[in-house]
Amino acid sequence: MGIVAVTAMLTAIVITWFTLSPYVIIQNYSFAPKELTVKAGTTVTWINIDLYVHTIRAGTPDRIGDEFDSGDLGVMGVYRHTFTKPGVYEYYCQPHPYMLGKIIVEI
């Protein structure tokens, strides 16, 4: 089985596992979706199916936030954060600062 087939299979398993909560997939040096809208009190799950270590850090490379920080996520690493307050939460990957995402939390 090739790497593409294994990645596709793992992606399907992981997405099936986490369909109970909104999720962001980390793959090919990007977040998908790049922007996600949820209700306050929702837990968002990030899943790294890339072959490299990534992070989910609040803010932007120019304005580091302190709301959340996953630390290093290896292959198949999972990070979850519950957003309790409405607002717009930008985030990025520390080792790859061009990887940007946004969570919009509504009432």
Query: CATH classification of 3-106, choosing from 1.10.4080.10, 3.40.50.620, 3.40.1010.10, 2.60.40.420?
Result: 2.60.40.420
Looking at residue 98, what is its pLDDT?
97
In angstroms, what CA-CA distances link 88 with 67, 97, 103?
11, 19, 6
Instruction: Indicate the pLDDT class of residue 17, thresholds 50, 70 and 90.
Output: low
Q: What's the mean per-residue pLDDT of the chain?
A: 90
Reply yes or no on whether the pLDDT at 8 is more than 70.
Answer: no
Q: Tens digit of pLDDT for each residue in 19-63?
A: 568 999 999 999 999 999 999 999 999 999 999 999 999 999 999
Question: Where are the chain's structural domains?
Answer: 3-106
Q: Do 59 and 90 meet the contact criterion of CB atoms below 8 Å apart?
A: yes
Reply yes or no on whether the pLDDT at 9 is more than 70.
Answer: no
Query: Taking the CB of residue 24, how many other CB atoms lie within 10 A of it?
Result: 21
